[in-house]
Amino acid sequence: MSRLIGVYGAAGCGRGVMPLLRSQYRAPELVFIDDGQAPGYVNGHDILTWTDFLERQTDQKAVSIAIAASHIRQTLAEKCAAANIPLIEVRAASVVQMDEVVIEEGACLSPFVTLSSNIRIGRCFHANLYSYVEHDCIIGDFVTFAPGAKVNGNVTIGDHAYIGSGAIIRQGLTIGAGVIVGMGAVVTRDVPPGVTVVGNPAKPLIKD
């Protein structure tokens, strides 16, 4: 049986995901899909348009959406669902996952990610290099962790939140939907939906 897997997005994120897929799924053909780059070749894999991907004759198709921008991930997830193409999980071999972790479709778990016990995670979660989720966290849909994001126990994170590189979230907090936590921030209080926080202790960003 032939199987074609597409990595949606042939830029930085996609080029980080492709090698993980290569070692995770042995036989299938692996291609990039990209709406903004000319069809071609990158790191040994074809770049196809979405139309070309749909037209390829194969028994099974699946997609991994490897784009950091969460609203684009949502749009593309809906496009895949409309075409009846399932989203697969990408998981580096070094990921540590403890007990009772429920994680919905389409996650990308980079090398050295740790998911501790009793965690719920929504759709298309991106956990970049060395990030972690501690016990009893609840994480929404289309959430993105940059490299080294540290989320301690009993934290709730809303849909589309972005946790910047090296940021630390204190245990027990609620981080609202669409929140952006800046790189290296130390978050010690709840953050309301849509707010950007930076610094140590993290405070709302005042734009001038």
What are the residues binding ligand UDP (CB under 6 A)? 9-14, 34-37, 67-68, 72, 76
Q: Looking at 45, 126, 135, 160, which residue is catalytic?
A: 135
Nearer to ligand UDP, 68 or 177 (CB): 68
Nearer to ligand UDP, 124 or 187 (CB): 124
- Nearest approach in angstroms of CB 51 to ligand UDP is 12
Nearer to ligand UDP, 72 or 173 (CB): 72
Residues 6+ apart with CB under 8 A from 84: none
Active site residue 135: yes
Q: State the Cα–Cα distance between residues 111 and 194, nearest whole angstrom.
A: 29
- Nearest approach in angstroms of CB 112 to ligand UDP is 19
**What element of type H or E holds 77?**
helix 70-82
Contact 60, 2 (CB under 8 A): yes
- Nearest approach in angstroms of CB 76 to ligand UDP is 6
Cα separations in angstroms, 61 against 33, 39, 76, 77, 194: 12, 19, 15, 14, 35
- Numbered residues of the known binding site for substrate: 34-35
- Numbered residues of the known binding site: 34-35
- Nearest approach in angstroms of CB 16 to ligand UDP is 8
Nearer to ligand UDP, 76 or 191 (CB): 76
Tell me the residue nearest to ligand UDP as measured from the CB: 36
Q: State the Cα–Cα distance between residues 96 and 94, nearest whole angstrom.
A: 6
Catalytic residues: 135
